Amino acid sequence: MVSLTAVTAQNTLGVRAVQEIDPSIVEAQINAVAEDIGVDAAKTGMLSSSPIMEAVARTVRKWGFPLVVDPVMYAKSGDPLIRPEAMETLKRVIIPIAKVVTPNAPEASHLAGFHVETLDDAKRAAKVIAEELHPEIVIVKGGHLTGNESIDVVYFRDSGEYRELRAPRIDTKNTHGTGCSFSAAIAAGLARGLNPWEAIKLAKELITTAIKYSLPLGHGHGPVNPMAWLELRPIGRTLLRR
């Protein structure tokens, strides 16, 4: 189920126009689903303004479902997806209610307050974000880092423990939607009742497959293909039917 927060006019090259949805409509969409169908877990994507963030946070507090926050700031094309004045609200209102928050390297740099360029920086940033902004689990994603593996750092606030997610770096420009699909897959795993680490590991498998079978559409960054995982992985089908 989806609650639209903004309508974007975009293609593989860039975001041309954005129309935010009225915060009361964002809130009404979530309540409509929660009251009737129920919400086992959710993830956020583009939350461009403070009032939209406040509306989302109100519903999360009201219904108490586990939340995965993808702290979206810029599209793959580099276009901004958050108003500058909403950055503080993201930190103060949204990230503290997250079970899992999944910044990429540039987002982790903004949230931690220093430049994230190496695996070591990613580790330091994950800990700073967890301690200062208080989500349960921080994943600093490695898509924007370099090296022949794409390594994500997972930090668990309560235990102070680090784990790593590793996958071969796939040579493609078609990575539009990697972060969105990854965070959605984590939320889906949590909704199925997996523990957070199981949900995160499965999401890494899904996104690696989705990038491998990404689609060369348009003249910019084509989309990843999350359906490939369902078609190729029997284990995925088993888990989803459970």
Ligand X SMILES: Nc1ncnc2c1ncn2[C@@H]1O[C@H](COP(=O)(O)OP(=O)(O)OP(=O)(O)O)[C@@H](O)[C@H]1O
Binding site for ligand X (CB under 6 A): 76, 104, 141-144, 150, 152, 167, 169-170, 175-180, 182, 204, 207-208, 211
- What is the phi/psi pair of residue 15, to 5°? -105, 120
Distance CA 29, CA 173 (A): 34
Considering only CA atoms, which of 36, 37, 39, 27 is closest in space to residue 3? Answer: 27
222 binds, among ligand X, Mg ion, none (CB under 5 to 8 A by kind): none
Alpha carbon distance, N-terminus to C-terminus of the chain: 19
The catalytically annotated residue of 5, 44, 180, 189 is 180
143 binds, among Mg ion, ligand X, none (CB under 5 to 8 A by kind): ligand X
Considering the complex, what minimum distance in angstroms separates the CB of residue 24 from ligand X?
27
Stretch that binds Mg ion, among 19-27, 32-40, 116-124, 172-180 (CB under 5 A): 172-180
Strands 152-156 and 137-140: antiparallel
Are the C-beta atoms of residues 38 and 32 closer than 8 Å to each other? no
Tokens of 168: 């071969």
What CA–CA distance (Å, rounded) separates 147 from 44?
A: 29
The gap from C-alpha 188 to its chain's centroid, in whole angstroms, comes to 12
Closest-CA residue to 225 (of 185, 190, 196, 198): 185
Part in contact with Mg ion (CB under 5 A); list of ranges 90-98, 113-121, 153-161, 171-179: 171-179
Q: Largest Cα–Cα distance of the chain, in whole Å?
A: 47
Q: Is residue 177 part of the contact set for Mg ion (CB under 5 A)?
A: no
Asked about 178 being catalytic, the answer comes back as yes
**53/56 Cα distance (integer angstroms):** 5
**Residue 84 CA to its chain's centroid (Å):** 19
CB of 154 to ligand X, least distance (A): 10
Residue of 178, 204, 209, 222 marked active site: 178
Question: Within positions 198 to 237, which residues make up the interface with Mg ion, using CB under 5 A?
Answer: none
Check binding of 179 to Mg ion (CB under 5 A).
yes
Query: How many other CB atoms sit within 10 Å of the CB of residue 2?
Result: 9
Which residue out of 43, 99, 141, 204 is catalytically annotated? 141
Q: State whether residue 14 is helix, strand or coil.
A: coil
Task: Indicate which of ligand X, Mg ion, none lies near residue 167 (CB less than 5 to 8 Å, by partner kind).
Answer: ligand X
Active site residue 180: yes
Q: Minimum distance between the CB of residue 113 and Mg ion, rounded to whole angstroms?
A: 19
204 makes contact, choosing from ligand X, Mg ion, none, with CB < 5 to 8 Å by partner type, with ligand X
Taking the complex as a whole, the smallest distance from the CB of residue 206 to Mg ion amounts, in Å, to 15
CB of 117 to Mg ion, least distance (A): 17
Indicate which of Mg ion, ligand X, none lies near residue 178 (CB less than 5 to 8 Å, by partner kind). Answer: ligand X
Examine the residue annotation and report whether 179 is marked as an active-site residue of this protein: yes
Q: Please list the active-site residues.
A: 141, 175, 177-180
Give the binding site for Mg ion (CB under 5 A): 179
